[in-house]
């Protein structure tokens, strides 16, 4: 006996639903994989990385190459972090926050700043990206670590800083990184709260995929270097977008 029309329709529908379910599941798995291991979208709310990154730059961070990877690190070709790279990381004082800075010192490096110029292992760095936007003199900020105290320092860093100073240089310990903002006069960075552990590094910014003026972007609360995950903000931001910054590579 031939099956009835409803039965035939049901027999066709069930495999189709299973196929669609498999496709949707595969898409969800791919998206979750990408979010977890490959890229992260964030927006820059502070001027600490100007002129490399501006307030209102939306960046995609590559988590595949330099991210720690956690339990899955054996799956991916993670490499060592290099001096001069920009990285996104969990803020050591509050792991729920993301910050973006440039790596100036890697493990074993001897760091010293004199009159705003950064010296690594006795040689002055050529930092075309670094700017000084204030113009005033701050002995602690510009001559780090000649002075071991500043009002803006984290209390724990104030206590521990001396442990890492050898003959006037800050020595970066194993598994840690010394980071600075490119806008050296307006960055709350390793000078004020210490090193970034390797495990805190999420990835490195690849490109700016959207950029809007500060007045059109989010107004986050909290530390001014905090990065915020981008959400459904595009509809009212596109009209104000800085199109010349779209898809520029972050270096």
Domain boundaries, the chain: 40-249
> What is the pLDDT at residue 36?
47
> What is the pLDDT at residue 16?
63
Neighbouring C-alpha atoms within 13 Å toward the C-beta of 185: 11
The model carries a pTM of 0.77
End-to-end CA distance of the chain: 71
pLDDT at 220 exceeding the cut of 80? no
pLDDT at 93 exceeding the cut of 80? yes
* Active-site amino acid positions: 48, 101
**CATH assignment, 40-249:** 2.10.109.10
> What is the pLDDT at residue 31?
40
Q: How many whole angstroms separate alpha carbon 54 and alpha carbon 52?
A: 7
The pLDDT tens digits for 101-149 are 999 999 999 999 999 999 999 999 999 999 998 878 899 999 999 998 9
CB-neighbour burial class of residue 189 (10 A; exposed 0-12, middle 13-18, buried 19+): buried
Q: How many whole angstroms separate alpha carbon 1 and alpha carbon 73?
A: 58
């Amino acid at each position: 006996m031939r099956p009835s029309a409803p039965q035939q329709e049901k027999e066709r529908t069930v495999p189709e639903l299973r196929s669609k379910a498999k496709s949707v599941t595969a898409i969800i798995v791919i998206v979750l994989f990408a979010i977890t291991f490959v890229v992260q979208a964030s927006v820059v709310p502070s001027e600490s990385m100007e002129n490399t990154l501006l307030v209102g730059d939306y960046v995609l961070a590559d988590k595949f190459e330099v991210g720690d990877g956690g339990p899955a690190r054996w799956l991916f070709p993670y490499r060592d972090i290099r001096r001069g790279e920009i990285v996104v990381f969990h803020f050591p004082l509050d792991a729920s926050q993301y910050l973006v800075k440039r790596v100036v010192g890697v493990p074993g490096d001897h760091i010293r700043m004199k009159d705003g110029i950064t010296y690594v292992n006795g040689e002055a760095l050529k930092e075309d990206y670094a700017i000084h936007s204030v113009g005033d003199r701050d002995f602690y900020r510009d001559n780090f670590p000649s002075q071991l105290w500043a009002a803006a320092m984290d209390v724990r860093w104030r206590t521990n800083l001396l442990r890492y100073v050898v003959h006037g240089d800050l020595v970066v310990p194993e598994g840690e990184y010394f980071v600075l903002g490119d806008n050296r006069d307006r960055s709350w960075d390793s000078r004020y709260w210490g090193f970034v552990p390797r495990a805190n590094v999420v990835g490195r910014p690849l490109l700016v995929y959207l950029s809007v003026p500060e007045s059109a972007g989010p107004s986050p609360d909290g530390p001014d270097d905090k990065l915020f995950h981008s959400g459904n903000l595009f509809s009212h931001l596109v009209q104000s977008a800085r199109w010349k910054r779209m898809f520029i590579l972050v270096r």
